[in-house]
Amino acid sequence: MYVKDYMSTDLITIKPTTTILQASDLMKRHDIKRLPVMENDRLVGLVTRDLIDKNLPSGATSLSAHEVNYVLEKTKVSDFMMKKIDSVAPDSLLEQAAVMMRTRDIGVVVVLDDNTLVGILTDKDIFRAFADISGYNSPGTTIVLELEKDRVGVIEEIGDALLATQINLSHMTVYHFEGVVRVVMHVETNDVTQLTNLLKQAGYQVQTVQKKTPID
């Protein structure tokens, strides 16, 4: 999975001279939380909803309504935008971006292709990718298998059971935990009785059988 498969490309950008009020209105109008700041077709900063909220006058301010409006109209995003922005390339692996975001405790990275802004990847995009990889939003059934330890031939054994039952596998992930190997597979049918029986006979513990339907 690549970053380019899940990044947002329909971007709304602003200029350094955009006011805090204009940036806030744009976010509300388009229901977004980040705005790249561009100057001469070059990314120079990033403004987030949190940054705007921190720079808005608080309700406890002693400023008059006229003074508040003056501040909102005069404060430019260049005064408080993030200038050091974490970035990845569109062909970066999605897990590379996810580890970067977790390690640096950030919710967004910009996607640059030869220093040109081509997209934004957020934590919500990572969550969406995880759901897609697991097959959670696909119709069919999710089966969770467990083994006490890994061994050669696991994929072949599962493949043999699928072939014998003529069931199509759409997604599969393998997780290694201390003392157990967990296989999560998603198949394109709701009738998995024969399949689970064959897997049990092959020595697998069937922990979960959960039928899925698409989620809008």
Q: What does the pLDDT read at residue 58? A: 60
Q: If you write DSSP's letter for every residue of 99-113 in order, what string do you get?
A: HHHHHTT-SEEEEEE
Task: Show me where the domains of the chain are located.
Answer: 3-130, 136-212
Q: What does the pLDDT read at residue 133? A: 83
Q: What does the pLDDT read at residue 61? A: 55
Instruction: Tell me the mean pLDDT in the region 99-107.
Output: 93
Instruction: Tell me the mean pLDDT in the region 98-108.
Output: 93
Closest to 112 in 3D by CA, of 3, 14, 1: 3
Q: What does the pLDDT read at residue 216? A: 44
Closest to 194 in 3D by CA, of 156, 165, 157: 165
CATH number of 3-130: 3.10.580.10
pTM of the model: 0.76
Instruction: Return phi, psi of residue 24, to 5°.
Output: -65, -45
Q: What does the pLDDT read at residue 44? A: 96
Give the model confidence (pLDDT) of 13-66 as tens digits.
Answer: 999 999 988 998 999 999 999 999 999 999 999 999 999 888 776 654 555 556
Q: Is the pLDDT of residue 143 over 60?
A: yes
Give the model confidence (pLDDT) of 168-205 as tens digits.
Answer: 999 999 888 888 899 999 999 999 999 999 999 999 99
CATH number of 136-212: 3.30.70.260
